[in-house]
């Protein structure tokens, strides 16, 4: 399918999904649970741009996600700050603007991190990204303006744009972000950039010898991946209404964003989407039926099973069956 | 020399306290077929890595087609016309053979100023290159489906896809049977006829002698002989390096 057609299809699917949800679903819990699944579609797709397409394992999802969330918290407090410091009155910053700003800041963080760490390979790169998460969390814990380790309360605006409640608005925005991230991932996959990233993943020396500017491409991947993760984190303060470092840097974000593409399949855009829907839904069901404490256990068990039984994920499993069928 | 393509002067490379290369002077003329030989650990692959930008030499200068290469990274050297195949084949495992060839066409040929191959031209060129190495019937297959000799051919085809003026074939015949070696030599000779200067780094002396028009010999990081193949192998220092005192 051509890229432009694919974009049209996923935008149509996204709009239809939101319209049908609004028409037929009245229980707010669906929107709360759906938001989390959609958020994981964005996070796992973003992770896959660097981890799956390029072969660089990033354990710093929490850092990029939280930077997006905290940039929104800062923008939320901005009118109050300007008023008290300069007696300036501005309108509250709209959430879509916060999402763009969160994406820009996290993208810049991705670029900087990439520039400092992309000369490292394999496990050393993974450790560096884990360290990034700890460094950013330490900075936030010691930043009083955003509540430090106590956290910060965020009061949602009284009115939600597009009608309905605020959670429905957040659900709509996260659907739009999912469409955007999946569209970007699919566009990369079939492009010159995607071929270059795959060459880096397969063999970096051979890629360089084939003329691929490996450092530049890896920087593009870290920037795009970081930006999408930041965008996914930007609406978080309005979702949780209380933002603290412990929850926004939660290990679950890093673990899930690695596990979902691994379980779904890392070489195609559909893999992270399948993984996020599957794992995200199971986790939400476990949360209401048993306990949220089981979530990481479920991820761990599934991850071990898939690494042993289907190392190329569900997509790889299906491709294998199709090849056998063809033979 | 008016037709000099590559000029290496005083090149040196160390790994910690180990001197891998020291004071290497080498000139390669356009259209030449140079055999580069030496015992294991003599520095052949290190020299290729330094010339192609995979490693950085600590001393000496390298001038290629009149341009100094100092500080230039590997992909920039490839775009300038310096290509290589690897001692151990390094295909892009997740891609079909066609895509393996598309990578250098998109990133090297299309990155050169004034060059832009359309999608159709790229597809045509991929087919042409795979036909050249008798792999056209496996164009949609993955490298894992190839035999050892086919893997070597893919490696050469991918290097040639960069449209190089100088190709380093690093042990392109290692582990191959006699008939497979002849196949690879035939491919290399055809490439040379098309105007590509070739440096063959090899242990298999029959292959080197039948292919090369000139021979350079490295021992323990030093060049000990350089000249016509028959003269170079009779050099007493070369005999000592290969056969002992």
Domain enclosing residue A196, as ranges: 3-253
What is d(CA B110, CA B115) in angstroms, rounded to the nearest whole number? 5
Residue A111 lies in a domain: yes
Average pLDDT, chain A: 92
A-chain residues near B91 (CB < 8 A): 202-203, 206
Question: Between chains, do A196 and B75 touch, taking CB under 8 Å as contact?
Answer: no
Choose, out of B56, B80, B103, the residue to mutate when testing the contact with A (most A CBs < 10 Å). B103
* Strands, sheet with B222-227, edge to edge from the N-terminal-most edge strand: B82-85, B166-170, B197-201, B33-37, B214-219, B222-227
CA distance B80 to chain A (A): 10
Q: What is the ipTM of this complex?
A: 0.91
CA distance B77 to chain A (A): 8
Beta bridge partners of B168: B84, B199
Q: Which of A20, A8, A45 is nearest to A273 (CA)?
A: A45
CA distance B66 to chain A (A): 20
Choose, out of B49, B90, B96, B151, the residue to mutate when testing the contact with A (most A CBs < 10 Å). B90
Residue A259 lies in a domain: no
Minimal-distance CA residue of chain A relative to B155: A206
DSSP A149: G
Nearest-by-Cβ selection for A203 from B52, B73, B90: B90
Check whether A20 has a pLDDT greater than 80. Answer: yes
- Domains of chain B, first to last: 4-243 (3.40.50.300)
Q: Give the tens place of pLDDT for each residue, A229-252.
A: 999 999 999 999 999 999 889 888
Q: Provide residues of B within 8 Å CB-CB of chain A.
A: 52-54, 73-75, 78-79, 83-84, 86, 90-95, 99, 102-104, 106-108, 111, 158-159, 161-162
CA distance A315 to chain B (A): 14
Check whether B1 has a pLDDT greater than 60. Answer: no
Residue A311 lies in a domain: no
CA distance A54 to chain B (A): 12
Q: Give the tens place of pLDDT for each residue, B4-37.
A: 999 999 999 999 889 999 999 999 999 999 999 9
Q: Give the tens place of pLDDT for each residue, A154-170.
A: 988 888 887 788 999 99
pLDDT at A15: 96
CA distance A324 to chain B (A): 15
Question: Between chains, do B78 and A198 touch, taking CB under 8 Å as contact?
Answer: no
Residue A298 lies in a domain: no
Question: Between chains, do B92 and A192 touch, taking CB under 8 Å as contact?
Answer: no
Q: Provide residues of A within 8 Å CB-CB of chain B.
A: 192, 195-196, 198-199, 201-203, 205-214, 267
Question: Between chains, do B78 and A267 touch, taking CB under 8 Å as contact?
Answer: no
pLDDT at B174: 82
Q: Give the tens place of pLDDT for each residue, B39-64.
A: 888 999 999 999 999 999 999 999 99
Taking residues B205-217, report their average pLDDT.
92
CA distance A211 to chain B (A): 4
> What is the pLDDT confidence band of residue B2, given thresholds at 50, 70 and 90?
low
Q: Helix A166-189 and helix A28-51: axis angle, to 10°?
A: 20
Question: Between chains, do A212 and B107 touch, taking CB under 8 Å as contact?
Answer: yes
| Alpha carbons within 13 A on the beta-carbon side of A154 | 28
Q: Give the tens place of pLDDT for each residue, A88-115.
A: 888 889 999 999 999 999 999 999 998 8
Residue A289 lies in a domain: no
> What is the pLDDT confidence band of residue A25, given thresholds at 50, 70 and 90?
confident
A-chain residues near B90 (CB < 8 A): 203, 205-206
Q: Which of B116, B132, B76, B122 is nearest to B99 (CA)?
A: B122
Residue A44 lies in a domain: yes
A-chain residues near B115 (CB < 8 A): none
Choose, out of A211, A268, A316, A323, the residue to mutate when testing the contact with B (most B CBs < 10 Å). A211
pLDDT at A68: 97
Pairing verdict, β B67-68 and B222-227:
unpaired
Residue A265 lies in a domain: no
Contact A189, A265 (CB under 8 A): no
**Number of domains forming the structure of chain A:** 1
Q: Give the tens place of pLDDT for each residue, B95-139.
A: 999 999 999 999 999 999 888 889 999 999 999 999 989 999 999
pLDDT at A280: 93
Minimal-distance CA residue of chain A relative to B76: A211
Residue A137 lies in a domain: yes
Nearest-by-Cβ selection for A211 from B54, B99, B111: B111
Minimal-distance CA residue of chain B relative to A316: B94
Q: Which of A189, A276, A229 is nearest to A60 (CA)?
A: A229
Minimal-distance CA residue of chain B relative to A55: B94
Taking residues B66-91, report their average pLDDT.
93
DSSP B45: H
């Amino acid at each position: 399918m051509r890229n432009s057609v694919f974009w049209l299809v996923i935008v149509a699917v996204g709009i239809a999904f939101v319209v049908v949800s609004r028409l037929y679903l009245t229980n707010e819990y669906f929107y709360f649970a759906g938001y989390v699944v959609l958020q994981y579609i964005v996070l796992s797709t973003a992770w896959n741009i660097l981890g799956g397409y390029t072969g660089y394992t990033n354990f710093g999802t929490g850092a990029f996600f939280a930077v997006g969330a905290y940039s929104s918290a800062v923008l939320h407090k901005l009118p109050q700050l300007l008023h008290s410091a300069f007696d300036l009155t501005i309108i509250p910053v709209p959430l879509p603007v916060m999402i763009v700003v969160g994406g820009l800041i996290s993208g810049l963080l991705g670029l900087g991190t990439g520039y400092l760490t992309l000369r490292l390979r394999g496990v050393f790169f993974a450790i560096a990204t884990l360290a990034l998460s700890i460094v950013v969390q330490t900075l936030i814990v010691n930043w009083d303006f955003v509540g430090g380790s106590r956290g910060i309360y965020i009061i949602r605006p009284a009115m939600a744009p597009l009608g309905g409640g605020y959670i429905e608005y957040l659900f709509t925005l996260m659907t739009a972000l999912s469409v955007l991230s999946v569209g970007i991932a699919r566009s990369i996959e079939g492009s010159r950039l995607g071929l270059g990233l795959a060459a880096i993943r397969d063999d970096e020396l051979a890629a360089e010898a084939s003329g691929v500017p490996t450092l530049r491409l890896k920087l593009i991947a870290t920037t795009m991946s970081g930006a999408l993760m930041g965008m996914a984190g930007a609406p978080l303060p309005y979702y949780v209404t209380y933002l603290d470092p412990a929850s926004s840097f939660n290990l679950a974000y890093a673990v899930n964003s690695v596990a979902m593409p691994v379980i779904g399949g890392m070489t195609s855009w559909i893999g992270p989407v399948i993984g996020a829907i599957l794992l995200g839904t199971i986790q939400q069901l476990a949360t209401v039926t048993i306990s949220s404490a089981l979530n990481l256990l479920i991820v761990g068990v599934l991850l071990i099973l898939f690494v042993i039984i289907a190392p190329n994920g569900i997509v790889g499993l299906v491709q294998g069956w199709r090849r056998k069928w063809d033979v | 020399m008016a037709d000099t393509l590559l000029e290496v002067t005083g090149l040196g490379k160390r790994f910690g306290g180990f001197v891998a290369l020291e004071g290497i002077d080498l000139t390669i003329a356009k259209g030449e077929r140079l055999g580069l030989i030496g015992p294991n650990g003599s520095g052949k692959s290190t020299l290729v890595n330094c010339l192609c930008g995979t490693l950085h030499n600590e001393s000496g200068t390298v001038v290629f087609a009149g341009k100094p290469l100092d500080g230039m990274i590997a992909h920039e050297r490839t775009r300038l016309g310096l290509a290589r195949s690897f001692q151990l084949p390094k295909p892009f495992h997740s891609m079909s053979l066609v895509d393996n060839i598309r990578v250098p066409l998109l990133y090297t040929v299309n990155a050169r100023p004034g060059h832009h191959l359309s999608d159709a031209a790229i597809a045509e060129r991929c087919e042409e290159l795979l036909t050249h190495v008798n792999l056209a019937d496996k164009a949609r297959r993955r490298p894992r489906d190839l035999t050892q000799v086919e893997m070597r051919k893919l490696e050469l085809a991918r290097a040639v896809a960069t449209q190089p003026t100088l190709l380093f074939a690093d042990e392109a015949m290692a582990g191959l049977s006699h008939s497979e070696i002849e196949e690879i030599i035939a491919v290399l000779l055809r490439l040379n006829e098309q105007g590509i200067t070739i440096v063959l780094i090899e242990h298999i002396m029959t292959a080197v002698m039948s292919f090369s028009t000139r021979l350079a010999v490295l021992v323990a990081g030093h060049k000990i002989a350089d000249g016509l193949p028959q003269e170079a192998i009779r050099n007493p220092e070369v005999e000592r390096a290969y056969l002992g005192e």
